[in-house]
């Protein structure tokens, strides 16, 4: 639905730049240009920078350009309250602390959807439905 607010997890941004997974790259780029309002968090930005440098071997200048584009989206700041909420969600839903913080940010942003490859597609956590656009992507 076009009027849904979707929180975008780090893996979507990583796949958008990952030439080794062309099918997932196409899907990620489609997610990042669809008509939904997309929201991220400072955690997503930091994780992207780390993975882009470490796993994709991107240059710092290219990472900076990608980060500037990411910062054009609405974003939630991962402050102490969000971290505490993330830990609570991780405990209650058997998530990693990182995924708990992502769900907490999605909730704080008022998102009805969390687009992620990392959690159970179709699950609803705290009113946020997990959507995995890569679930049927061809193996590469």
* Full set of structural domains in the chain with CATH: 5-131 (3.40.50.1010)
CA distances from 131 to 26, 112, 115 (A): 16, 10, 5
- The confidence band for 138, taking pLDDT boundaries of 50, 70 and 90, is low
Q: What's the pLDDT score for residue 132?
A: 96
Q: What's the pLDDT score for residue 59?
A: 97
Q: How far is CA 89 from the centre of its chain?
A: 17
In the three-class reduction of DSSP (H, G, I as helix; E, B as strand; rest coil), residue 107 is classed as: helix
- Residue 1 vs residue 96, higher pLDDT: 96
- Count of beta carbons in the 10 Å neighbourhood of residue 64: 11
- Rounded to an integer, the average pLDDT of 27-45 is 96
Percentage of residues of the chain with pLDDT beyond 70: 96
Distance CA(43)–CA(28), nearest Å, equals 18
Assess whether pLDDT exceeds 70 at residue 103: yes
- Rounded to an integer, the average pLDDT of 88-102 is 96
């Amino acid at each position: 639905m076009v009027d849904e607010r979707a929180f975008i997890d780090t893996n979507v941004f990583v796949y958008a730049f990952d030439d080794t997974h062309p099918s997932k790259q196409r899907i990620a780029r489609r997610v990042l240009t669809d008509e939904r309002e997309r929201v991220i968090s400072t955690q997503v930005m930091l994780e992207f920078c780390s993975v882009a440098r470490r796993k994709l071997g991107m240059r710092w200048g290219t990472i900076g350009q990608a980060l500037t584009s990411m910062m054009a989206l609405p974003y939630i700041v991962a402050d102490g309250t969000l971290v505490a909420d993330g830990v609570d969600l991780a405990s209650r839903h058997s998530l990693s602390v990182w995924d708990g913080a992502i769900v907490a940010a999605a909730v704080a942003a008022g998102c009805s959807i969390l687009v992620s490859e990392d959690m159970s597609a179709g699950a609803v956590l705290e009113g946020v439905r997990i959507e995995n656009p890569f679930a049927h992507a061809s193996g590469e």
